[in-house]
Amino acid sequence: MSEREGEGILHLEGVTRSFGTVVAVDRLSLTIGKGELITLLGPSGCGKTTVLRIIAGFETPEAGQVFFEGRNVTRWKPQERGFGMVFQSYALFPHLNVFENVAFGLRARGMPETGIRERVASALELVELPDHGERAVQALSGGQQQRIALARAIATEPPILLLDEPLSNLDQTLRVRTRSELRALVKKLGITALFVTHDQEEAFDLSDRIAVMRSGRIVQIGSPRALYEEPVDQFVAGFVGRASGLLVTLEPHGVRITDGVAWPFSGPNEGTGGPLPNGSSAMLLFRPEELHLVDGEADPSLGDPLEGVVVDRRFRGGVALFQIEVRARAPSAVTNPSGRPPIVEVLGPPGGPAPGTAVQIQPNRGARLHVFPASAT
């Protein structure tokens, strides 16, 4: 039996899974520490659910290995691994009441009736539905059904909990409340958990670390803050949070957006292909909160003001999100890869300039600006 010591409670090494000619998971490696809550985040079809199914034992990789507590479990059946799983559809049994749904896994393991009653009562107490044991699952709300599915998964006291977009069927208000409760419960129990979602806000709220996936591979893994503030490429920057981009030319102490408009820049300009030389074209990416609308005189220490016109203003509570079409002094000087004038998003006051208003934009002092190769996608 192969052993992997010191690799966390769960370790995937070079895992690959294909369906016909489609490579769903491509040589993926991942280590999860004991008690950690990790989210696989990515667009539909990126392979995140397939990774979850490989860990659970519902799919077998054609290459690579899965280790649990140092043991190679790649060929183990799902019931031999003993992991808990909450499905997107909840997969509750309509012919069984709440108690029997929660007790199902315990009965399958041959637990005595006294132990079953204790475990079910404890699980229902943890999800705050202690008096619902005799109810029919069809009579429950969506949020209550989600809790029952979670209670069934934790009743067996699994070492690892796998969650496949379990909140996607809930309305927005209930999703926000439920994910906070879910994180609190997982941390209270000390369970190691792997969560799958395409919703970055959900991933941020739940996770200790997030693994961003694309085309069957992990592009970047780190804390929510690290992914947001230091994305490794344009894909991560655009998928995790909001980001705007401008084609620029690199200069020794900054970036030139167009004739007469240059901004200071001191961050790394490596992208994925090594350092980018001065004079090369690049894509400058930034978050809406890293820029501001110039009110009065522009501050020359922040760089030259970039001119534009407000095309949309969206209320966001204490702030507004402005969409600004960049208008350079030479109309053709600033474009995005499509050849059209770029739209830049900037946060500002709710009572700020209305659509159609000419404005100027500058980076904030200490703004986090990111430069990547112009050809990267």
pTM of the model: 0.86
Whether residue 4 is contained in a domain is answered as no
Tokens in use for 372? 């990547």
Say which DSSP state 136 is in. Answer: B
Q: Which residue has the higher pLDDT, 377 or 179?
A: 179
Q: Of the given ranges (14-18, 204-208, 332-336), which has the lowest mean pLDDT?
A: 332-336
Query: Domain for residue 235, yes or no?
Result: no
With bands split at pLDDT 50, 70 and 90, how would you rate the model's confidence at 251? confident
Do 289 and 221 fall into the same domain? no
Q: Please, are residues 361 and 292 in contact by the beta-carbon 8 Å criterion? A: yes
Residue 236, domain member (yes or no): no
Do 191 and 32 contact (CB within 8 A), yes or no? no
Distance of alpha carbon 14 from alpha carbon 31, whole angstroms: 11
User: With contact defined as beta carbons under 8 Å apart, do 154 and 189 qualify?
Assistant: yes
Domain match, 256 and 200 both: no
Residue 41 contacts by C-beta under 8 Å, 6 or more apart in sequence?
A: 48, 197, 198, 200, 203, 210, 211, 212, 213, 239, 240
pLDDT at position 330: 42
Q: Which structural domain, as residue segments, surrounds residue 69?
A: 10-229
Least confident of 162-166, 223-227, 335-339: 335-339
Partners of 248 in beta bridges: 282
User: Which one of 175, 207, 229 terminates a domain?
Assistant: 229
Same domain, 125 and 184: yes
What is the model's pLDDT at position 267? 63
Q: Which of 229, 257, 273 is at the close of a domain?
A: 229
Between 227 and 168, where is the model more confident? Answer: 227
Residue where a domain stops, chosen among 197, 229, 261: 229
Confidence of residue 236 (pLDDT cuts 50, 70, 90): very high
Regarding whether 250 and 154 lie in a shared domain, the answer is no
Tokens of 254: 């900054």
CATH number (domain holding residue 105): 3.40.50.300
pLDDT at 38 over 60: yes
> Do 211 and 346 sit in the same domain of this protein?
no
Min mean pLDDT across 114-118, 275-279, 369-373 is at 275-279
Place of tokens 């006291």: 157
